[in-house]
Amino acid sequence: MSRRTPHFAEPLHVGRPNIGDRERLLERFIDLLDRRWLTNDGPYLQEFEQRLAEYLGVRHCVAVCNATIGLELAIRALDMTGEVIVPSFTFPATAHALAWLGVTPVFADVDPTTHTLDPAAVERLVTPRTTGILGVHVWGRSCDVAGLDDVAERHGLKVLYDAAHALGCTQRGQMLGNFGDAEVFSFHATKFVNAAEGGAITTNDDDLAARLRRMRAFGLERGEVCDVGTNAKMNELSAAMGLTSLESVDDFIARNRINLAAYERALAGIPGVRLLSPPPFEQSNCQYIVVEVEARDAGQTRDQLVAKLHEENVLAKKYFSPGCHRMEPYRAAHEATGRRLPQTDRLCDRLLQLPTGTAVDESMIASIGTILGNLAIGRRRAA
Ligand code: T4K
């Protein structure tokens, strides 16, 4: 059977890493090899933490080996136990970090516009066992931090934010990273600023920062074991990558904005295909191109569109489908509660993400628009 040639000869990935200044990166690698200092609070780690804290305007930044371990560290350092309320509409790492520590993730529904936790839905789930709220700034859109703080204050709960998507994004003009008791960023290869693997916990609480630093390195402080700890350290190679990548943060954001504008043009007028815009009056890193599909108007379901895009080598994603509450480790316990998460289920069925970043240019985006337009309009004509 002959296979049709895809539109793109090479696959276009969502999350193709941005590389930044290669020369600077290689200089740093040579330098750290010459110095023979590869991990354990090395100079690049310290510089990365300091530069990140300055960028975010936050007092403390504790770099870690990845965001999942960063969440675990923060959950434990904040003494979250029992039940913690969390969105189901997130990468499974958010829920896993709780479950891994024996804390029950209680899934709350999200706001249909922001895709982040709905404070009213959170409040309905508070029980005597609840110790905290774990919000996710999904796509870099800020949670309703004032609404969640209000619920937390009235019920004596800790607030942690999963800010894996949110570097360089603001809430009322202030950088995310400054809210709740702590926030956790990801510097995974697929994030627009990356350290190959990496993460960072930010907080304005001095005692919490000291505890996180101890816990990150076996509970050690000045050579003494003062706490139960683990090994969550970021090594020097990752820190050098993170630092170099962070130096290009403005360029990466500028490129993401240009790509977003190109998608706005390319997708305009395609029936049933709506591009999500970042919130007005806020700074956004624009690192995810998120499209909502209305199957009735597009003449195709989201899944059909994704399958056809893949045939053209556009490897669109279906983050975060299914929601965590429908995933094997959590399904039975969630079903037993009889609760429904209609907004989450709706988003899980309708959203897709398209390639952006420095590996994609405006002409590729125009072609993706043509492919999508032909699929949606062609189908309607056929109907
Ligand atoms: N919280 C939230 C809300 C998150 O979204 C995530 C991670 C976390 C917490 C946990 O953060 P970390 O512990 O990872 O620091 C990706 C990422 O693996 C994952 O980190 C990310 N969220 C999630 C949203 O997306 P996938 O399923 O897209 O697959 P992946 O990593 O294989 O990469 C996607 C595509 O990118 C591949 O098709 C090929 C391309 N790619 C990937 C890598 C790793 C490259 O071209 N080069 C590469 O080096 O998960």
State mean pLDDT over 224-248: 97
Query: Residue of the nearest CA to atom 24 in ligand 1?
Result: 91
Mean per-residue pLDDT, 70-99? 98
Number of other residues whose CB lies within 10 A of the CB of residue 160: 28
- Write down the pLDDT at residue 280: 86
Bridge partners of residue 101, in order along the sequence = none
- Is 91 a pocket residue for ligand 1 (Cβ < 6 Å)? yes
Per-residue model confidence (pLDDT) at position 78: 98
pLDDT at 92 over 70: yes
User: Does the CB atom of residue 189 touch ligand 1 within 6 A?
Assistant: yes
**Integer Cα distance of 188 and 238 in angstroms:** 10
Neighbours of 313 (CB within 10 A): 16
Q: How confident is the model at residue 378 (pLDDT cuts 50, 70, 90)?
A: low
pLDDT at 373 over 70: yes
DSSP per-residue codes, 57-116: T-SEEEEES-HHHHHHHHHHHTT--SEEEEESSS-HHHHHHHHHTTPEEEEE-B-TTT-S
- What number does the ligand 1 atom closest to the CA of 186 have? 15
Q: What is the mean pLDDT of residues 248-262?
A: 98
% of residues, the chain, pLDDT over 70: 98
Question: What's the token pair of residue 373?
Answer: 């337009």
Q: Running DSSP on this structure, what letter comes out for residue 217?
A: B
- Pocket mutation for ligand 1, best pick of 75, 91, 317, 344 (most atoms within 8 Å of C-beta): 91
The residue whose CA has the least distance to atom 7 of ligand 1 is: 91
Read off the pLDDT of residues 339-357 as tens digits, 9 standing for 90 and up. Answer: 999 999 999 999 999 999 9
Task: Say if residue 118's pLDDT is above 60.
Answer: yes
248 lines ligand 1 (CB under 6 A): no
Q: What is the tens place of the pLDDT at every residue in 170-218? A: 999 999 999 999 999 999 999 999 999 999 999 999 999 999 999 999 9
Computed over every residue of the chain, the mean pLDDT equals 96
pLDDT digits (tens, 9 = 90+) for 359-372: 999 999 999 999 99
pLDDT band at 30 (very low <50, low <70, confident <90, very high): very high
Give me ligand 1 centre to Cα 232, in Å: 19
Q: Whose CA is nearest to atom 23 of ligand 1?
A: 91
17 alpha carbon – ligand 1 mean position (Å): 10
Ligand 1 center to 297 CA (angstroms): 31
Average pLDDT rounded to a whole number, residues 10-29: 96
What are all long-range contacts of 259-264, with beta carbons under 8 Å and residues at least 24 apart? 259/286, 259/289, 259/356, 259/357, 259/360, 259/362, 259/365, 260/286, 260/289, 260/356, 262/362, 262/365, 262/366, 263/289, 263/354, 263/356, 263/365, 263/368, 263/369
Q: What pLDDT score was predicted for residue 379?
A: 58
**Residues β-bridged to residue 117:** 110
pLDDT reading at 262 higher than 90:
yes
Query: Ligand 1 pocket, 19 CB below 6 A?
Result: no
CA separation for the pair 306, 312 (Å, rounded): 10
Q: Long-range CB contacts (< 8 A, 24+ apart) of 304-312?
A: 305/273, 305/352, 305/372, 305/375, 305/376, 306/352, 308/371, 308/375, 309/352, 309/368, 309/371, 309/372, 311/4, 311/6, 312/6, 312/7, 312/8, 312/371
Cα–ligand 1 centroid distance for 206 (angstroms): 31
Can you tell me the distance from the alpha carbon of 271 to that of 170, in angstroms, rounded to the nearest whole number?
31
Q: Is the CB of 320 under 6 A from ligand 1?
A: no
- Measured N-to-C along each axis, helices 236-247 and 249-267 cross at an angle, to the nearest 10 degrees, of 60
Q: What does the pLDDT look like over 124-176, one tens digit per residue?
A: 999 999 999 999 999 999 999 999 999 999 999 999 999 999 999 999 999 99
What are 266's two structure tokens? 């390319």
Structure token digits, residue 317: 């994603």
Residue 223 confidence (pLDDT) = 92
CA–CA separation, 334 and 331 (whole Å)? 5
Q: Tell me, using a 6 A CB cutoff, whether residue 18 lines ligand 1.
A: no
